[in-house]
Amino acid sequence: MYRFVTAIFFLVASAAASSAQGLLPSIWQSERGAVLKILNADPVTGTFSGVFLSNPAGPCPLVPYNVAGGIRGNRIGFQTSRTWTPDCSVTAVWSGRLIGPTTIAARWRTISGGPRTGGTEIFHRR
């Protein structure tokens, strides 16, 4: 039983590691012009961090937001936040999946700061 549990642990860890390694470093651009830059990734846990630049045509064009998230298999989730200034202070949650090695489809919704909104984005790796 111990060997089985150990084998499962290493299988899950290696899947998370291979997913996270494929993200580092990388730049993804949405069809609306927002940019997701993944700067740090932990191959053991599948977590990552970086910066998100908002849609250039939106109410806060190209404003930088902190990003923290994780990937497991083809599922990806991250949170963008800007809490250090009152202008454009929004926190949003993103969840989606890798459609392929160069495409992410994600839904987002704001959870604080400003009106509650949401939508979908398709990101392509640059």
- CA distances for 11 relative to 5, 22, 40, 76, angstroms: 10, 17, 22, 18
Max CA pair span of the chain:
56
State how far the Cα of 74 lies from the Cα of 104, in Å rounded to an integer.
Answer: 9
Grade residue 87 by pLDDT with cuts at 50, 70 and 90. Answer: confident
What's the pTM value of the predicted model, to 2 decimals? Answer: 0.79
25-42 CB burial, b ≥16 within 10 A, e <16: ebebbbeeebbbbbeebe
Contact criterion met (CB below 8 Å) for 91 and 80: yes
Q: pLDDT tens digits for 28-78? A: 999 999 999 999 999 999 999 999 999 999 888 999 999 999 999 999 999
How many domains are contained in the chain?
Answer: 1
Report the pLDDT value the prediction gives residue 22, as an integer from 0 to 100: 65
Q: What gap in Å lies between CA 35 and CA 19, rounded to an integer?
A: 20
Domain that holds residue 12: 2-125
Q: Which residues contact 111 (CB under 8 A, 6 or more apart)?
A: 91, 92, 93
Q: Which CATH number covers residue 106? A: 2.40.128.30
Per-residue pLDDT at 59: 86
For position 35, what pLDDT does the model report? Answer: 97
Phi–psi pair at 52, nearest 5 degrees: -125, 130
